[in-house]
Amino acid sequence: MRPAETAERLSRRIAVARGDEPADLVIRGGRVFSVFTREWLDGDVAIVDGVVAGVGEYEGTETLDATGHHVVPGFVDAHVHLESSKLLVDEFARLVLPLGTTAVVADPHEIANVLGTDGVHWLIDACEESPLEIYFMASSCVPASELESPWRALTTGDLEGLLHRSRVLGLAEMMNFPGVISGSPSELEKLALARHVDGHAPGVTGKQLQAYVASGVGSDHETSTAEEGRERLRAGMWLLIREASAARNLQALIPLALEYGPSRIAFCTDDREPEHIADEGHINSMVRDAVALGVTPEDGLVMASLNPATYHGLDHLGALAPGYQADVLLLPDLESFAPDFVLKAGRPIGEIPHVQVPEWVRRTMHLDAVAADDFHVPWQGGSARVIGLIPNQIVTAALVDELTVSDGFAVADPARDLAKVAVLERHLGTRRVGLGFVRGFGILRGAFGATFSHDAHNVVVVGVDDRAMALVVERLRELGGGIVAVDEQVRAELPLPVAGLLSDRPLGEVLEASREINAAAQALGVTFPAPFQMLAFLALSVIPSLKITDRGLVDVDRLELVPLPV
Amino acid sequence: MRPAETAERLSRRIAVARGDEPADLVIRGGRVFSVFTREWLDGDVAIVDGVVAGVGEYEGTETLDATGHHVVPGFVDAHVHLESSKLLVDEFARLVLPLGTTAVVADPHEIANVLGTDGVHWLIDACEESPLEIYFMASSCVPASELESPWRALTTGDLEGLLHRSRVLGLAEMMNFPGVISGSPSELEKLALARHVDGHAPGVTGKQLQAYVASGVGSDHETSTAEEGRERLRAGMWLLIREASAARNLQALIPLALEYGPSRIAFCTDDREPEHIADEGHINSMVRDAVALGVTPEDGLVMASLNPATYHGLDHLGALAPGYQADVLLLPDLESFAPDFVLKAGRPIGEIPHVQVPEWVRRTMHLDAVAADDFHVPWQGGSARVIGLIPNQIVTAALVDELTVSDGFAVADPARDLAKVAVLERHLGTRRVGLGFVRGFGILRGAFGATFSHDAHNVVVVGVDDRAMALVVERLRELGGGIVAVDEQVRAELPLPVAGLLSDRPLGEVLEASREINAAAQALGVTFPAPFQMLAFLALSVIPSLKITDRGLVDVDRLELVPLPV
């Protein structure tokens, strides 16, 4: 993926390296990190045309004083869903570049569920002007399972088309690991498209894991124990240590870096909420936490720069050495890993152009008006399947309980912490609604809902009042998507008009709205921590145990629809 | 370079990995090396269709008992000139496969000098049936310099054509490092052809080295000191530690593997004589010697397997893990590294088909008959440039001395250890002859000569008797190339009729003839160790200091022709 060179650029770079021509910029006085030997070198970094020409004693047209600083390559996020930030890519870049993340490899499967390849092509195009260097993997599992309803399923032909885009590096996480392991022809057909394939293998071990790796999958970011990680490394997988908002694996996996060294281990954020990035940081937070857990700063830096670049074949990134792109961080210390200064391709981060969002990307709410009785559940009594929440986890328990009945309908019962949950298909106007019950939110009145709900991003609404649930949907229709909390009326909202996934507002406004909806949820009585994160995973049909889509309740372990009554 | 998969093969491999179908072969009872974690695992290796399906507990149609053995991946030679073995590729394979080398990356620049791209295409085709897996780099410097005379120079277009062959991985060693560093347009044009470029940078340091790396060169195998190696690793080059017959760098460089670990260090043999391989071994000898020098067996094995494969992008080689080709060695111990058993792509090495050599590859001696007076050097007295040999080195000294004069001709003078040396152009029948004098062989009578002489492989003859020198050339013409020692008559010969470079005989006969010509040289009074190795480098115009080609004496430091008189 090293950009094509012109003879003129190459000739100039060599002349600068020789010392016969001045560099555009020389970084002087710092300690320069060699990712290859994990040493600190005293020397200048000579940069020309955005590329490192040499490390040594150099003169340049401009000089950047790095005295007292550690000079290190920019961080690369090995696996991220940009949409989880709720930010447009320009605003995402404004957030993470100052934190030292200068390149990311994104799986656009959220927007792919909403807008198919059209949405992915738009997103790729929208990244063109970004100083944050954004690569993509072609989303391999849209929908996540047959029990979800995206706008359109991505076909093998769609994936082939995406793989032809120059910024698409390979096939994104093969989430259908049971399909891969069982040798499903449709999954093998996808695997045949690419040599570079990300994995997704939560809990897969033993021969199942050998089979998954034998298929050609090269990495896993769903590893949650050191023993699983050890098995993956031994089998030749790259271990992408993931520290997402709802799934944090760094602490459990860092002992592997201590035992084996950093080889074939890279950091990724997967899904981070905007608050998480704003409060804790991005890849830099993983280096910081790894070092706090005993990793040397040098090993931590390698897992954040050279390793993710190497894994993805981005051979122009991840190092400060001749021929590498000059993505450079000046770190004041080796504890916080918060850069004082960031250079992207040899330049300071300037103004970042605003992404233009075409109307078709804003018009993704294709569902009719709903009324309270659309949420009615006729019920004659008896036991029902109930989704049981578990704090700080996105897996759920498959509970069985009696439902409270009123006038021949099953109803929410705040006294028993039983709320109603509905998933409404919103892409094709099918009027399909899945209805069920959930325990654990603690909601006492009103309702809340969102269009950001993995992976199909249909409308998910939780409430104890059918009229409030209808009002949530009505407001989401008006907004073109978002997150809404309703009491008698709309109490708070985070509009996500871009595909129903992203805000078009600056980070500050998003954070403020996010705080407001969380506060509003609390005002409704909600006690579950980070309720909208949980809400976003309630409809994901590939995370155990009981989930719900627009098609109804899903027994994830058997990957089949199950009726509400037991 | 992983071979394209069929859905059927992939499906079967996954089924075997799952344990639902029997493997073709299971290797049982050994300790299996994980190159990724540098650990020994207890488990079976399940192989199907020549590929590892899984490591664990498996059943197979056949079982190979590896009890008491270390099970490791086959060795990969990161840089070799096959022609230096003097063997056809089938015989080379018969020699090195039992030693554990299961793949090599070859630079065919010897045959390229003799037969241009025609010869390279023939050699690539000749490797097609070889169980030894042979990849190529496109020879970037044919001729090595403008002062040598190959059959045809390889143009940029020629290189582009070679790079299109499926087994050609990139551009071979950019020997013209001064040209690269100075930004020569013709060298930059070559560099633009490939992303994967081998280097050759003897003694290059500082900004010169930064410039060489900035050009895109990715490795060096000419490093001879730890300090040079350290500088190369820091600059992002891969360090290919070379242990050739005439240039042995392992001992000097292995401290780097101890200091930094084995990352980005790989082994190569470059130029090994057949005796060297027969007596000491091949890549296995480097692992053995590295371990004797204090490297752990695990690190030694990684530098011989995973690392060379990784450097060259051979992502199906170098490991025993799902999806990797089943090139497997059973080692009885971790000292000798001599395998008891070798599997190539899951099969024992069977009969290796003989390579057919077409007539045009055998007819490469295009020079007219010569007589004694073709070697006469008219001389009026005065100082002359004399090539000074240095034992165990291929560099020479540029001496100045009086020549012995007889009847108006400068003559060899055995009493002063002054022999005559001639290089005769043999590709185009130009009758061009370079004449000079050399000190250090110790030859007392007769002459010896060879067509194997880097890089242009013209005829090089050394002698103290012009008639004997003529007889050497005459015999080489009859043989179609080779190595010949002459007294009054031919005393010994090693015919190399294939391009004047290779024997078409089995190893045993080549070794016997090689012993005989060395003994014959001794009988001529030669005291210089390995005189034919030295002879092969006398005409290489890019190794300091004074060399000779068919165009005359070459001052290598200034890369220009110089006259015999000072």
Window 266-325 of B, Cβ < 8 Å to A: 315, 319, 321-324
Q: Could you tell me which of A313, A27, A325 has the C-alpha nearest to residue A170?
A: A313
Q: What is the pLDDT of residues A81-112, one digit of tens each?
A: 999 999 999 999 999 999 999 999 999 999 99
Please give the Cα distance from B4 to B1 (Å, whole number).
8
CB A305 within 8 A of CB A319: yes
With CB atoms and an 8 Å threshold, state whether A18 touches B215: no
Q: Name the 3-class secondary structure at A506.
A: coil
Does pLDDT of A388 surpass 50? Answer: yes
Percent of chain B exceeding pLDDT 70 equals: 99
> What's chain B's Rg over C-alpha atoms?
24
Structure-token match 């000072």, residue found:
B566
CB A46 within 8 A of CB A60: yes
Q: What is the pLDDT of residues B1-42, one digit of tens each?
A: 455 678 899 999 999 999 999 999 999 999 999 999 999 999
Give Cα A296 to chain centroid, integer Å. Answer: 27
Q: Name the 3-class secondary structure at A187.
A: helix
Tell me, what's the pLDDT at B1?
44
Q: Is the dihedral of CA A95, A99, A102, A103 positive or negative?
A: negative
ipTM beyond 0.85? yes
Residues of chain B contacting residue A263, judged by C-beta atoms under 8 Å apart: 36, 263
Mean pLDDT in residue range B245-253:
93
Compute the nearest-CA separation of B518 from chain A (Å). 45
CA B547-B553-B555 angle, 5° bins: 65
Mean pLDDT of chain A: 96
Q: What is the pLDDT of residues B272-316, one digit of tens each?
A: 999 999 999 999 999 999 999 999 999 999 999 999 999 999 999
With CB atoms and an 8 Å threshold, state whether A180 touches B14: yes
User: 3-state DSSP helix/strand/coil percent for chain A, to nearest 5?
Assistant: 30, 25, 40
Residue A347 contacts B, CB cutoff 8 Å: no
Residue A357 contacts B, CB cutoff 8 Å: no
| C-alpha torsion A56→A62→A66→A72, nearest 10 | -60
Which residues, in sequence order, are CB contacts of A412 under 8 Å at separation 6+? A404, A418, A419, A420, A437, A463, A464, A465
Identify the band that residue B394 occupies on the pLDDT scale cut at 50, 70 and 90: confident
Residues of chain A contacting residue B36, judged by C-beta atoms under 8 Å apart: 233-234, 236, 263-264
User: DSSP label at B153?
Assistant: P
Among the partner residues A51, A210, A234, nearest to B39 by beta-carbon distance: A234
Tell me, what's the pLDDT at B311?
98
With CB atoms and an 8 Å threshold, state whether A11 touches B183: yes
Q: pTM of this prediction?
A: 0.95
Two structure tokens written together for B141: 């410097």
Tell me, what's the pLDDT at B18?
98
Tell me, what's the pLDDT at A394?
86
Does pLDDT of B420 surpass 70? Answer: yes
Phi and psi at B270, nearest 5°, equal 60, -90
| Total residue length of chain A | 566
Q: Could you tell me which of A233, A313, A197 has the C-alpha nearest to residue B321?
A: A233
Indicate the helix (H) or strand (E) that contains B71.
Answer: strand B70-73
Please give the Cα distance from B214 to A60 (Å, whole number).
17
Phi and psi at B46, nearest 5°, equal -95, 125
Tell me, what's the pLDDT at B416?
97
Percent of chain A exceeding pLDDT 70 equals: 99
With CB atoms and an 8 Å threshold, state whether B192 touches A10: yes
Instruction: Report the 10 Å Cβ neighbour count for A11.
Output: 18
With CB atoms and an 8 Å threshold, state whether B322 touches A13: no
Identify the band that residue A164 occupies on the pLDDT scale cut at 50, 70 and 90: very high
Which residues, in sequence order, are CB contacts of B359 under 8 Å at separation 6+? none
Core vs surface per residue A95-119: b (16+ CB within 10 A) or e: bbbbbbbbbbbbbbbbbbbbbbbeb
Tell me, what's the pLDDT at A350?
93
Tell me, what's the pLDDT at A7?
87
Q: Could you tell me which of A19, A530, A451 has the C-alpha nearest to residue A272?
A: A530
CB A371 within 8 A of CB A473: no
Does pLDDT of A224 surpass 60? Answer: yes
Q: Could you tell me which of A294, A274, A319 has the C-alpha nearest to residue A99?
A: A274
Q: What is the pLDDT of residues B110-148, one digit of tens each?
A: 999 999 999 999 999 999 989 999 999 999 999 999 999
Q: What is the pLDDT of residues A429-459, one digit of tens each?
A: 999 999 999 999 999 999 999 999 999 999 9
> How many helices and strands, by DSSP H and E, does chain B display?
17, 31
Does pLDDT of B494 surpass 70? Answer: yes
Tell me, what's the pLDDT at A45?
98
Which residues, in sequence order, are CB contacts of B203 under 8 Å at separation 6+? B222, B224, B228
Please give the Cα distance from B320 to B312 (Å, whole number).
18
Among the partner residues A261, A319, A321, nearest to B261 by beta-carbon distance: A261
Tell me, what's the pLDDT at A543?
87
Better pLDDT: B258 or A529 = B258
Does pLDDT of A248 surpass 80? Answer: yes
Q: Could you tell me which of B20, B18, B3, B16 has the C-alpha nearest to residue B48?
A: B16
With CB atoms and an 8 Å threshold, state whether A322 touches B213: yes
Q: Could you tell me which of A242, A308, A307 has the C-alpha nearest to residue A276?
A: A242
Identify the band that residue A1 occupies on the pLDDT scale cut at 50, 70 and 90: very low
Identify the band that residue A392 occupies on the pLDDT scale cut at 50, 70 and 90: confident
Mean pLDDT of chain B: 96
Structure-token match 């008896």, residue found:
A382
Residue B196 contacts A, CB cutoff 8 Å: no
Residue A189 contacts B, CB cutoff 8 Å: yes
| Total residue length of chain B | 566
Structure-token match 């629809």, residue found:
A561
Window 54-113 of A, Cβ < 8 Å to B: 54-56
Among the partner residues B14, B192, B235, nearest to A321 by beta-carbon distance: B235
With CB atoms and an 8 Å threshold, state whether A213 touches B323: yes
Please give the Cα distance from B297 to B290 (Å, whole number).
8
CB-neighbour burial class of residue B415 (10 A; exposed 0-12, middle 13-18, buried 19+): exposed
With CB atoms and an 8 Å threshold, state whether B213 touches A17: yes
